[in-house]
């Protein structure tokens, strides 16, 4: 027996893409820590719904039943019998939205039913596509199943963009992807997630990786999603274990197990800086850079707690794909918004 606890409705953003497209790295970047133990492979799990808090992890089976789980032994959870795994962390981004990490859509060992049974829970998607084989037919086929409203609120990340070694290849891939996905995403961003993680406090490297433009877009998207969800006037009822947990079975039990999070040191920074630089990777050497002062009218918006960045005021670079050759010469990854 479970209780249903009324909770405030937050936007729910899915992390999706094919196997090895960078979803795990994206998750690390957004959360400021690795959400799962290194030995646990997210692609072998049911969808993992991550929310703010310190609650005990649990799974929800196909009939709505609940079992407590050990985060260290998630791979022992039966995928075909599990609708979703619920994990709880303390993270800036989870204060304003929930993240749902889906298994790779191309995994031959993963039934498409595992993904489809959670699609109705999604408000928007961050879709990762590998630059060297961007937007494959299998990705397009899966994306066709999504409602148009979800597509319009979603973002396409062309990951590992640094693997394309020259400007000509970058422009060619971007043009092709933009053409093939026209009208299907709210924004498209070339990005190197590994470079973003390694940027430390070096804002120039963070910007060059493509993360600055993407983060600005994400902040705006979450703001808009929050307003959209509020207008839906719906309450989310989440099945949770009752207060007394003694009678709730625990699978793969580990009495001493606690949710695994990497150390997440806070880096001192200029309180007037436009960007709150990363708290997940501290650079050995600080690179000082003059930055514009924040707009004081925007200081209290919850989007300022989104992971790595606060409200970014730099002008967004909206260009047509035909102009990208020039942009590439500036070595600045570009946002292309639909």
pLDDT for the residue numbered 154: 98
Asked if residue 175 is part of any domain, the answer here is yes
- State the residue range of the domain holding 245: 3-265+314-337
Asked if residue 217 is part of any domain, the answer here is yes
The span from the CA of 250 to the CA of 113, in Å, is: 25
Asked if residue 306 is part of any domain, the answer here is no
Asked if residue 279 is part of any domain, the answer here is no
Asked if residue 286 is part of any domain, the answer here is no
pLDDT for the residue numbered 278: 37
Asked if residue 276 is part of any domain, the answer here is no
11-62 pLDDT tens trace: 999 999 998 899 999 999 999 988 877 666 555 788 999 999 999 999 999 9
Contacts of 26 (CB under 8 A, 6+ apart): 15, 126, 128, 157, 159, 193
State pTM to two decimals. Answer: 0.72
Burial of 299 (0-12, 13-18, 19+ CB in 10 A): exposed
Q: Which two tokens stand for residue 149?
A: 């409203």
Asked if residue 277 is part of any domain, the answer here is no
Q: Can you give the pLDDT of all 338 residues of the chain as single tens digits? A: 445 555 568 999 999 999 889 999 999 999 998 887 766 655 578 899 999 999 999 999 999 999 999 988 888 898 889 999 999 999 999 999 999 999 888 766 666 777 788 888 999 999 999 999 999 999 999 999 999 999 999 999 999 999 999 999 999 999 999 999 999 999 999 999 999 999 989 999 999 999 999 999 999 999 999 999 988 755 443 444 543 444 445 544 444 444 333 333 222 233 333 333 333 333 333 343 444 343 434 433 333 445 443 333 233 333 334 434 333 333 334 455 55
Asked if residue 118 is part of any domain, the answer here is yes
The span from the CA of 187 to the CA of 156, in Å, is: 6
143-184 pLDDT tens trace: 999 999 999 999 999 999 999 999 999 999 999 999 999 999
CATH (domain of 327): 3.40.50.300
- How many separate domains does the chain show? 1
């Amino acid at each position: 027996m479970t209780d249903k606890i009324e909770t405030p409705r937050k936007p729910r953003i899915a992390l999706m893409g094919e196997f090895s497209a960078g979803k795990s790295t994206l998750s690390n970047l957004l959360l400021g820590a690795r959400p799962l133990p290194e030995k646990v492979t997210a692609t072998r799990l049911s969808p993992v719904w991550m929310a703010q808090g310190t609650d005990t992890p649990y799974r929800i089976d196909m009939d709505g039943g609940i079992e407590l789980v050990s985060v260290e032994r998630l791979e022992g959870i039966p995928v075909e019998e599990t609708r979703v795994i619920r994990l709880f962390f303390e993270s800036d981004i989870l204060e304003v939205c929930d993240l749902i990490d889906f298994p790779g859509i191309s995994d031959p060992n993963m039934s498409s039913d595992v993904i489809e049974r959670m699609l109705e829970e999604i408000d928007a998607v961050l879709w990762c596509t590998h630059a060297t084989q961007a937007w494959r037919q299998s990705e397009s086929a899966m994306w066709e199943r999504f409602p148009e409203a979800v597509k319009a609120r979603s973002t396409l990340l062309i990951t590992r963009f640094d693997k394309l070694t020259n400007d000509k290849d970058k422009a060619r891939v971007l043009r092709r992807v933009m053409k093939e996905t026209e009208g299907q995403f709210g924004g498209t961003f070339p990005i190197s997630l590994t470079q973003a993680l390694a940027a430390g406090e070096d804002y120039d490297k963070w910007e060059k990786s493509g993360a600055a433009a993407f983060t600005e877009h994400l902040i705006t998207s979450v703001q808009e999603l929050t307003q959209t969800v509020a207008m839906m006037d719906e309450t989310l009822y989440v099945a949770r274990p009752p207060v007394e947990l003694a009678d709730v079975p625990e699978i793969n039990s580990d009495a001493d197990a606690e949710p695994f999070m990497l150390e997440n040191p806070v880096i001192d920074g200029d309180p007037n800086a436009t960007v709150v630089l990363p708290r997940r990777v501290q650079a050995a050497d600080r690179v000082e850079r003059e930055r514009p002062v924040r707009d004081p009218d925007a200081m209290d918006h919850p989007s300022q707690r989104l992971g790595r960045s606060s409200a970014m005021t730099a002008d967004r670079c909206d260009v047509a794909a035909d102009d990208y050759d020039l942009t590439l010469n500036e070595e600045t990854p570009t946002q292309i918004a639909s």
